A and B are shown apart, each in its own frame.
Chain A
Amino acid sequence: MIYRENGQFKTSYRADQQIFPISQDRLFIALLLIVAFVVVPGLASDYLIRAILIPFLIMSLAALGVNILVGYCGQISLGSGAFMAVGAYGAYNFFLRMPGLPLIPALVLGGLCATLFGIFFGLPSLRVKGLYLAVATLAAQFFADWMFLRIKWFTLDTPSGSVSVSNLQVFGVPIESAASKYIFCLAMLVVIALLAKNLVRSAIGREWMAIRDMDVAASVLGIRPMYAKLSAFAVSSFVIGVAGGLWAFVYLGAWEPAAFSVDQSFRLLFMVIIGGLGSIMGSFFGAAFIVVLPIALNQFLPALLGAFGITISTAGISHAELMIFGGLIVWFLIVEPHGLAKLWSTGKQKLRLWPFPH
C-alpha cells in the first residue's frame, strides 16, 4: 500500500536509469542519510559511536571492496587483510614522510599503494581460479604480515612494526572527538559507496559479472579477462586500502601488523557472504552483523548465563563466543545461503504486494 511504484512514470532515460527508481526508496535513503549525518551524532553516546558505529562504517567500506572482487567479479580472495594493511601503512608513510600532506590525500595515496599491491597479487587470477586462487591470495596476506614486521623501512624503524598517528585534521577541522570521526568515516563511506554503486552498474561492472558467471564464455563474447579481472582487483584493493587507512588512522590510532592478520581477511569474507554476494546493500548488512555480534555476545553472554546461575571465567566466555559465532555463521549459511541482502529484497517484494496477496 505504501511501497508501490504505481503512477510513477518515467519520461526520460535519466529517470529510467536512476539508482533508486522508486520514489519511496529515494525518500527512505534521504531520511536514512539525514538520520545518519544529523541525528545520530547528536544522540548516540560516545561509547556507541566509538565501539560500534565507527568500526561498522569502516568495515562496511572494506566489505564493499571485498564484494566488488568476490561478489561481482567472482575472484575469491583471502588477502583482504593484507590490502588493508598496505593501505594503512602506505597512508602512514605518506603522512609522516611528507609533512603537511592533508589526511584525505594520504588515505587516497595509501589506497593507491594497495591498488598496486592488489594488481600484483591479482596476477595469479589470470591462471588459477576458484579455491586455488583463494589459497594463492593467502600468499599476499602472509607476505604483508611479514613485510610490515620485518622490513623496517615501511614502519620508520619502529620496533615490531607498531606505529601511531596523531593530530588528524580535515580542512582545518580536527578529527578528535567521537562525533567528528564518525562524520568523517560516514562521509568517506557515502562517497565511495556511491562511486562503487555506479561502477558496478556501468559497462565495467557488467564485464565483471560476466567474468564471474563464466569467464570462458565471457572471453568468447569479447570481454578481455585480463583487463576485467585486474581492474576488479585494482578497484577492490583501492577501496579496501582506503578502509584500511581509516581503520588504522581513525579507529585504532596506534596499530601493529597483527591488526590486519588473516583473521581480518576471514571476517571480511564472512561479512560479504553473510551480507550477500554481489550486493552493495549486502556489504552493509554483513558488516553490521559481524561487527555487532562479538560485542553483543561479549555483553550479554555473562548476563544470560548469570541468569541461569552459571558463572563463567573470561577464558570460558571467549571460548563460548567462538562457539556461538561459528554456530551462528553455519546457521546463517544454511537458512539463507544468498545472504541478508536476499532477505531484504524478499521483504521489499512482499511489501509491494501488501496488504493484497496477489
Chain B
Amino acid sequence: MGPVLETIFGGLMTGMLYSLVALGFVLIFKASGVFNFAQGAMVLFAALAMARLSEWIPQWTAIEDKLFANALAFIVTMGLMIVVAWLIERFVLGKLVNQEGITLLMATLGVSYFLDGFGQTIFGSSIYKIDVGMPKDPIFLFENTFQGGLLLNKEDLMAAGIAAALVAALAAFFQYTGTGRALRAVADDHQAAQSIGIPLRRIWVIVWSVAGFVALVAGIIWGSKLGVQFSLSVLALKSLPLVILGGLTSVPGAIVGGLILGVGEKLAEVFVGPMLGGGIEIWFAYVLALGFLLVRPQGLFGEKIIDRV
C-alpha cells in the first residue's frame, strides 16, 4: 500500500509542476492562437535571470537581507520577462499576423533558439542554484495507519501549493478583472474583440507577460529542485502531451492533464518500466495522451472542433 500511494503522490506533485509549464502554453494559445514552443526557453531564461540576479544583487548593492535580495531579483526578472514579451510581440508576432499556425509555431521555435542563446550569453551556462528558502526536509504521514508511513517532500508539497495558488489567481484574474475579460474576448474571437475596441497588440503583450510570469514561477520551482541548467528548456517537451491531453484551450485542462500524466507516468515507470527495460518515462506520457486523443480528439476539456465546408 505504502509504495503505491507514495508513487501516486509523487506523480501528483510532478504533474503539478508540469502543469505550471503547460499553463504558459495554454494562456498564449487561448489568446493568440500561437502554439508557443518557446515556453521552455522562457522558463530557462527566467530561471537563469533569477538565479544570477539573486547572486549579483547582494554583490552590487550591499543588500544583506536574503529575502529582500530575492524579492528584488524576482521583480527585476519579471521586468525582463515583460520586456521579452513586448519584444516578441513587436518584432515577431506583430509581423506574422494572419499567417498559418505552423509558420507561427516555427517562429516561436526560432524565438526559443534565440532565447536559449541569449540567456546563456548574458547569464552564463553552468549550473546555478536558486535558493528561495524552499524547505528541503521530508515529512512522514500516516505512520500509524500502515507500515513505513508515507514519505513526502515538503518542497514538493509547497510547489504544488504554489501551483494551485497560481491557478486560482489566474482564474480570478481572467474572471473578475477588466483586462481578464478583454483577454477572454480576444481568445473567443480576434476580429469581434478588435471591433469593439480592444487593443489586440496590448492584449498580446499582456498575455505573453503573464506567460512570462508563469514561466518565472515554474523556473524558480524547477530551478530550486534540479538546479538551473539547460535541461530546463527541455521541460517544455515534457509538458506538451499534457497540453494536448487537457485541451489546448483549457486552463483547468492543463492542471487535470498534468495530474493524470504525472501519476500515469510515475506508476508506469515503477510498475511497467522494469519489464520493458526502464526509462519509459520519456515516451509514456505521449502515448497516454495519444490514447486519450483517439477517444476525444480535442482533448479532455478542449472546445469541440467543428469543421465547416
Contacts and interface: CB of A to CB of B under 8 A. Distances in A.
B297 interface: yes
Given A139-B290, A329-B110, A333-B110, A323 B117 contact: yes
B293 A138 contact: no
A216 B309 contact: yes
A76 interface: yes
B255 interface: no
A131 B277 contact: no
A328 B118 CA distance: 14
Interface string A89-124: 000000000000000000000000000000000001
Given A146-B283, A337-B96, A323 B118 contact: yes
A327 B91 CA distance: 10
Given A134-B105, A143-B283, A319-B121, A326 B113 contact: yes
Interface stretch (B133-141, B177-185, B194-202, B240-248): B240-248
A321 B114 CA distance: 9
Nearest to A277: B102
Interface in B199-243: 237, 240-241, 243
B1 interface: no
Interface stretch (A40-48, A166-174, A262-270): A262-270
A127 B309 contact: no
Contact of A266 (B109, B289, B305): B109
B157 interface: no
Interface residues of A, number: 50
A146 B279 contact: yes
A128 interface: yes
A248 interface: no
A315 interface: yes
A269 B142 CA distance: 51
Interface in B266-286: 276-280, 282-283, 286
B309 A337 contact: no
A333 B113 contact: no
Interface string B82-124: 0000000001100110011111011101111111111011000
A269 B106 contact: yes
Interface of B, helix, strand, loop or mixed by DSSP: helix
24 contacts: A132-B244, A134-B35, A134-B102, A136-B286, A136-B293, A138-B237, A139-B290, A150-B279, A216-B307, A266-B109, A269-B106, A270-B109, A277-B102, A319-B121, A321-B117, A322-B117, A323-B114, A326-B109, A326-B115, A326-B116, A329-B106, A329-B110, A330-B91, A334-B92
Contacts of B276: 150
Counting contact residues on chain B (CB < 8 A from A), the size range is 35 or more
A302 to B, nearest CB: 15
B263 to A, nearest CB: 19
B299 interface: yes
A124 B291 CA distance: 9
Nearest to B100: A337
Contact of A143 (B109, B121, B237, B287): B287
Nearest to A130: B101
Contacts of B112: 326
Contacts of A131: 35, 101, 105, 244, 248
Contact of A217 (B99, B105, B293, B309): B309
A315 B294 contact: no
B124 to A, nearest CB: 9
Contacts of A334: 92, 95-96, 107
Contacts of B244: 131-132, 135-136
A265 B220 CA distance: 30
B96 A326 contact: no
A1 interface: no
Given A129-B297, A150-B278, A329-B106, A138 B286 contact: yes
Contacts of B105: 76, 131, 134
A70 B105 CA distance: 14
A50 B248 CA distance: 44
A183 interface: no
B291 to A, nearest CB: 10
B191 interface: no
B175 interface: no
A320 interface: yes
B117 A146 contact: no
Contacts of A215: 307
Contacts of A139: 241, 283, 286-287, 289-290
B36 to A, nearest CB: 11
Given A139-B287, A150-B277, A330 B114 contact: yes
